[in-house]
Amino acid sequence: MASMAALFTKSHAPARSLLPKSSRCDASGSLVHLRRGPVGGMAIRCALIEPDGGKLVELIAPIGFEREERRREVAQAGDLPRIKLSQIDLEWVHVLSEGWASPLRGFMREAEFLQTLHFNCLRMDDASVVNMSLPIVLAIDDVQKMAVEGHDKVVLVDANSKPVATLTDIEIYKHNKEERIARTWGTTVAGLPYVEQAITNAGNWLVGGDLDVIEPIKYNDGLDHYRLSPAELREEFERRNADAVFAFQLRNPVHNGHALLMTDTRRHLLEMGYKNPILLLHPLGGYTKADDVPLSWRMKQHEKVLEEGVLDPETTVVAIFPSPMLYAGPTEVQWHAKARINAGANFYIVGRDPAGMSHPTEKRDLYDADHGKKVLRMAPGLERLNILPFKVAAYDKTQGKMAFFDPSRPQDFQFISGTKMRNLAKNREDPPDGFMCPGGWKVLVDYYDSLALQEGAKMREPVPA
């Protein structure tokens, strides 16, 4: 297996570098020089890279007069049609409002939708290309279409009919569900969780337009302080004097193999010449399927990982990524990577079968386990992002801890899959010492105990983040 140093220095062709070898732009856009690092070759003295499109899109009315004026205008616009948002729709409003999908300024119109479906990217006015692999769209039914037609603006309201945002300069077009599903997931097989939750019973029309959000989206679940926007994350990275940011997304509890990868990544970045690389530990916080550990429990587990020193709180920023999870494999992982560029990350760790899942009807993975990392290296619009392949970690029985897998002695390693981990926790069986920090494991056991108490050991329905 190639060493991490080799992966850092060899995994990218020249086209994948952040900027030409003689210079690059820091967060303000000014040029800084490169210098030679201890690993060899040129190491980048890097700050935060620019968002897609050159400027972070923020669609929330500023606090004060402008916000109050927008709220008043919506309240007085009684003749405007109102569209009630589902929980997943609201999560996409959240994503759009904070600029995770920059330069997108609202729900997609048809031209953006088609570019996303067929090219996984958007062409800008200056002919540059930004990655956009997932449709971010708002579905309406026939009755809503009739109410909306003839209007240039609509009001979007939450489940309690409270106005959340307006959509202006709107465009209505056909929602071809089969085409959307086939091109996003590569299959139309029954049993795709997001499809069943958000598309199958959705309306036959899509409405796109410019989004104006009244105030920040809040969930009042005790976790809002973790929901840092791209702008807030950039401020935090600058406050910590980060000269590189490496992002790690996950939707599962953190075990010591994950932590080994993250700490080893930082070590190699230091060896390359960076002075203060900061880890963005960025769990997904939107919709997840029923058998995933809910967000609130995952965040408790992540807190223990930092409290017990498995990861260094001084060099780690833990925040929630508000996107829903689609389980769309290589198509979706591009979205995960692209969104982190907008938050300031210039390195992205990609693992085995990213954004994948088991096939709904067959005993196999839905996607090839290696395709995600291969696609990220080739994806249009992601050239500025350094892709770091996930090194395989397993439990080394000779050392009694998680370690990088050594293919010369496979008999010494035990692989603990996510399924096995969940089954151990459900049955209150302890994993091998060194697999996960004790406090983090207790959180996981407590979660499955709560299921047994509440639902007779049946898996509960997914809880919106």
Please state, in angstroms and rounded to a whole number, the distance separating the CA atoms of residues 6 and 268.
10
Q: Which residues pair with 168 in a beta bridge?
A: 153, 210
One domain, residues 80 and 177: yes
Q: What is the pLDDT of residue 464?
A: 52
- The dihedral sign for the CA sequence 5, 6, 11, 16: positive
One domain, residues 136 and 169: yes
Mind giving me the DSSP string for 143-170? Answer: HHHHHHTT-SEEEEE-TT--EEEEEEEE
Given the structure tokens 């000269």, which residue do they identify? 243
One domain, residues 115 and 183: yes
Helix boundaries (H) for 251-328:
256-271, 295-307
Is residue 243 included in any domain, yes or no?
yes
Q: What is the pLDDT of residue 362?
A: 96
Please state, in angstroms and rounded to a whole number, the distance separating the CA atoms of residues 226 and 65.
27
Structural domain total, the chain: 2
Q: Which amino acid is at 241?
A: N
Q: What is the pLDDT of residue 251?
A: 87
Is residue 252 included in any domain, yes or no?
yes
One domain, residues 209 and 229: no
One domain, residues 292 and 406: yes
Is residue 36 included in any domain, yes or no?
no
The closest alpha carbon to 350, from 315, 320, 379, 311, belongs to: 379
| Range(s) of the domain holding residue 83 | 65-213
Is residue 177 included in any domain, yes or no?
yes
One domain, residues 133 and 266: no
One domain, residues 401 and 423: yes
Q: How many other CB atoms sit within 10 Å of the CB of residue 357?
A: 21
| Residue at a domain's end among 154, 179, 213 | 213
Please state, in angstroms and rounded to a whole number, the distance separating the CA atoms of residues 104 and 210.
9
CATH number of the domain enclosing 166? 3.10.400.10
One domain, residues 196 and 257: no
| Residue at a domain's end among 153, 188, 213 | 213
The closest alpha carbon to 424, from 285, 250, 255, 193, belongs to: 255
Q: What is the pLDDT of residue 391?
A: 81
| Residue at a domain's end among 154, 178, 213 | 213
The closest alpha carbon to 331, from 379, 284, 285, 294, belongs to: 379
The closest alpha carbon to 436, from 257, 264, 316, 296, belongs to: 257
Please state, in angstroms and rounded to a whole number, the distance separating the CA atoms of residues 421 and 447.
13
Q: What is the pLDDT of residue 171?
A: 98
CATH number of the domain enclosing 312? 3.40.50.620
pLDDT along the chain (465 residues), means of 10: 34 32 34 32 60 96 94 90 97 98 98 98 94 98 96 96 97 98 97 98 98 97 98 98 95 92 94 96 96 95 97 97 98 98 96 91 95 95 91 91 93 88 91 95 95 64 51
176: left (phi over 0), alpha (psi -120 to 50) or beta: beta
Q: What is the pLDDT of residue 455?
A: 66
One domain, residues 236 and 377: yes
One domain, residues 379 and 268: yes
Is residue 33 included in any domain, yes or no?
no
One domain, residues 340 and 298: yes
One domain, residues 411 and 270: yes
